[in-house]
Structure 1
Amino acid sequence: MAKSFFKIILFFLLVLSINPSLAQTEKEIAPPYNIKTVSFVQNDQNMVPIFELGSSFQFQFDDLFGNEANYYYEIVHCDYNWIPTNIPKNEYLQGFDNQRIQNYTNSFNTLQIYSHYKLSLPNQFTQQLRLSGNYILKILNEDKEVVLSRKFMLYENIATIPLQIKRARNVSNIEYMHNLDFAIKSNTITFQNPLKNINVRLIQNGNFNSEIKNIKPQYTIGNDLIYKYDTETQFWAGNEFLYFENKDIRVASNFIARVDFSTDIYNCLLHTSNARANSPYTLFEDINGNFVVKNTNASNNEVEADYAWVYFSLSAPTFRLNKNIYISGMFNNYSLSPEYMMDYNEKKGIYEKAVLIKQGFTNFQYVVADSKGIIDNANAIDGNFYQTENEYTILVYYKENTGRYDRIIGKGTANSLNIIN
């Protein structure tokens, strides 16, 4: 009986190794309530987690319990579809992971206590990440339970991606969508069977929830791969991000109507936003969904910036869909969790939500999605306008016929400020 059971397990493991599609896809795990302001940082700026292979960066977060808890990290190499590869860890990582995060500091002179954690990669334990491709960074507690996880990508600079942002090709959406025309060129790689071995990932404003993938080259010219699709590479243009600024947390400014001091921590009440879908396009200078942690009265923003309850309110009288409205941005990893879902106040006739956010400058947007988290960009609260300024990124994945993993061989970027017809 024991031998039969052993054979069944062995057979299952063999099938799993032959057919990786049966393996479990890694998905980002949203942090619990006490973990806030999770971000990848490079050169003191919050970044979309796409870094050149060999560069250094940091992963930071706050624990509002402020009890200097022990956290550990694990790094998992994945393929294009976020399925862990079979490559041994010592081949993609020089050194060790599963180490305790040793760099943490308690907040100073803040009403909301917290412990700030900073993981540098590479570090004394993890000296190098050797391979390009997709990675999952997992943060574990003392019981080695995963508290949160985040995706990040490492790319090589051996292919160029000329990219142009154009208005939609079809007349019905020409006012509302952006179309990405691009090519893939390389002087060092002769692409083998590009329809099978090349894949791309198209990203708007660092939001992986709305990415476009599994697009194959339309045709080739020599060794150049050409993508000139009409609909397959189109994004809804959206509208400029809204923002609020509470760098001086005691002062009402910009979109903050008033500040309330009556509770344990500050309350920032924003002016009520009006749905902009049926209004003319208006340029708002934004940072494409990003955020900046800043306390004008402090020298170390990482531990001296305070938290405040930010009260959002939205007037959308024509919104009649049986769907939910969420507050979204890089500050919460474009999350569609219940923590950021707005409630309808029948008495006031507006949507409301209070969110705990670290002070500074924060971009946000209102997102419509159903109960399964499927975003309805066509019926966006703030509409879609081709004039909207968006940042687009293309990652090119390549797996040779005999390759063992999906390399990211190049990164292309473009801004829709330079849109053409």
Structure 2
Amino acid sequence: MVKQLYLSVFLLFSSLTLFAQPANLRLEDFIYNEKIRTVLLYPALDNPENPTRLLTPAIKPLQSESPLVLEFDDMSAQFEGYRAKIVHCNADWTKSNLNDIEFTYEYNEYPVRSYEQSFSTKVPYFHYRLELPRLKLSGNYVIYVFSEQDRKLVLSRRFMLYETRVSIEAKARFSQGIQQQFSDQQIDFAITYKGYQLNAPQTDLMVVMRKNFRWDQTKSGFKPTNVRPFDQILEYTFFDLENTFPGGNEYRYFDSRTLSGRGYGINAMERSDEFTRLILFTDKSRANGSYIQIDDFNGQYVVDQRESGRGSVEADYTPVLFSLKTEEDPDAVYYVNGAFNLWQLNDRNRMTFNSETKNYEVEILIKQGVINYDYTVVRGQGKPEEAPIEGNYAATENDYDILVYNRPPAGRADLLIGYRTVEWNRRR
């Protein structure tokens, strides 16, 4: 009897360990199954259909009563049960050593119970929605969703919860570099830690800066240039350009909120019983021209359907043809990039050269709305670059945010103890 009890406990522990974390889980924004589209994660608003809800990054105060909301579409058009789990991560997005019970208030497996079938769309889909639970600790998190049937991963998304244990003063300005003053932007900042214990102020804090809430455009590893221990202030004012970012350019965009006529950026529409295909105007390089002011969403996008106002289930999916007029370059790979593709470069947004039109082209299935995008080029084993097509201009409007992490004495994970957004040349 005792042996059977031990065996039962062992099997239970083994099963829990087996499903603790999938082996192929990537602790980043990622879609593992092609049938999943339009993965959104944002702080909830009073109106769940307000399109602007999607423009706010997935970060909120730890004690906020308003939850984060996850939405996604299943393009198989057949209902499937899904569940979600949450992983606590360190500042560098590696899994922390915390057990689930240390950061959750309940069992760490959440069924996605809110779902609805698309209505009056040519392309059918199921829309799923989940309000994330309250958690105990600040820091970096990843939520991942898997199928109830086979427990295979379908998506993962990053989010953050922060405390205001330190205060951050920040200012954006033109770069102080002689050669970069017309192309780059500089962020100077200071951290006040009054009332928060730091044993070694020079090294205890980990600071990360992001541009336009993009994880592919971050800088970290900052050390204070001046420590004022009596005032408990750390100053970060650099002269080696480590706190500067290329300005980039305003994002291109198109408006597909209504399919009854051509919206901004749409050159032609092709209608069929299966879908409505959108052909955008051919884009050209903006690298060598003058800066032109355009109102944009800094690379983000909104899902919306103008006639109904219920973009979540009444916005249709449309094949969108992007084309870029540029010379063929066999050593370069071109991509259409944006938050609509989670800022990832993959086969879905990779462009090919059309020898007839002399354009690089790609067709992508995208949900109706206002979509920001730009073009990225990768040459050989080099880093992705937007500047060769989009240019860099110091006057470009951008959003920056600063994240401050610390691991308390005897702590087993990094906590997010400070957060600040910085706007540059904001016109909205």
| TM-score band, normalised by shorter chain | 0.7 to 0.9
> Residue 129 of structure 1 aligns to a residue in which SS?
coil
Of residues 173-182 and 292-301 in structure 1, the stretch that sits farther from structure 2 once superposed is 292-301
CA contact (8 A) 1:25 1:84 kept: no
Give 1:36 shift. Answer: 0.9
CA contact (8 A) 2:224 2:235 kept: yes
1:145 aligns to 2:156 (yes or no): no
1:208 aligns to 2:215 (yes or no): yes
Partner of 2:315: 305
CA contact (8 A) 1:38 1:332 kept: no
| Mapping for residues 16-415 of structure 1, pairs under 5 Å | 26-42=27-43, 43=45, 44=48, 45-46=53-54, 47-55=56-64, 56-122=67-133, 128-141=134-147, 142-222=149-229, 223-230=232-239, 231-262=241-272, 264-317=274-327, 320=329, 322-370=331-379, 374-377=383-386, 379-415=387-423
d(CA) in 2 for partners of 1:31 and 1:331?
16
- C-alpha change, 1:155 and 1:256, in structure 2 (3 Å) is same
d(CA) in 2 for partners of 1:50 and 1:316?
38
Of residues 363-372 and 88-97 in structure 1, the stretch that sits farther from structure 2 once superposed is 363-372
d(CA) in 2 for partners of 1:205 and 1:272?
25
Partner of 1:21: none
d(CA) in 2 for partners of 1:260 and 1:373?
38
d(CA) in 1 for partners of 2:382 and 2:369?
28
Of residues 384-393 and 89-98 in structure 1, the stretch that sits farther from structure 2 once superposed is 89-98
- C-alpha change, 1:151 and 1:275, in structure 2 (3 Å) is same
d(CA) in 2 for partners of 1:384 and 1:234?
12
Q: Which amino acid in structure 2 is aligned with residue 388 of structure 1?
A: T
> Residue 356 of structure 2 aligns to a residue in which SS?
coil
d(CA) in 2 for partners of 1:415 and 1:99?
36
CA contact (8 A) 1:238 1:388 kept: yes
Give 1:371 shift. Answer: 6.2
Aligned length: 389
Q: Which amino acid in structure 2 is aligned with residue 103 of structure 1?
A: S
CA contact (8 A) 2:105 2:136 kept: yes
CA contact (8 A) 1:25 1:81 kept: no
d(CA) in 2 for partners of 1:367 and 1:220?
40
d(CA) in 2 for partners of 1:32 and 1:300?
25
d(CA) in 2 for partners of 1:360 and 1:262?
20
CA contact (8 A) 2:27 2:156 kept: no
Identity, in percent, stands at 31
Partner of 2:12: none
Give 1:86 shift. Answer: 1.5
CA contact (8 A) 2:38 2:72 kept: yes
d(CA) in 2 for partners of 1:29 and 1:311?
23
d(CA) in 2 for partners of 1:278 and 1:304?
41
d(CA) in 1 for partners of 2:26 and 2:221?
16
d(CA) in 2 for partners of 1:228 and 1:350?
44
Q: Which amino acid in structure 2 is aligned with residue 362 of structure 1?
A: I
Q: Give the TM-score of the pair, scaled to structure 2.
A: 0.87
d(CA) in 1 for partners of 2:426 and 2:118?
43
d(CA) in 2 for partners of 1:62 and 1:54?
29
d(CA) in 2 for partners of 1:321 and 1:190?
56
Q: Which amino acid in structure 2 is aligned with residue 249 of structure 1?
A: L
CA contact (8 A) 2:41 2:157 kept: no
- C-alpha change, 1:275 and 1:321, in structure 2 (3 Å) is farther
Q: Which amino acid in structure 2 is aligned with residue 364 of structure 1?
A: Y
Q: Which amino acid in structure 2 is aligned with residue 89 of structure 1?
A: D
Give 1:146 shift. Answer: 1.7
Q: Which amino acid in structure 1 is aligned with residue 325 of structure 2?
A: S
CA contact (8 A) 2:331 2:380 kept: no
d(CA) in 2 for partners of 1:201 and 1:321?
36
CA contact (8 A) 1:165 1:418 kept: no
d(CA) in 1 for partners of 2:28 and 2:118?
31
Root mean square deviation, CA, Å: 1.9
Deviation digits for residues 32-66 of structure 1, max 9, x if unmatched?
32111111132140132122113311011001112
Q: Which amino acid in structure 1 is aligned with residue 315 of structure 2?
A: A
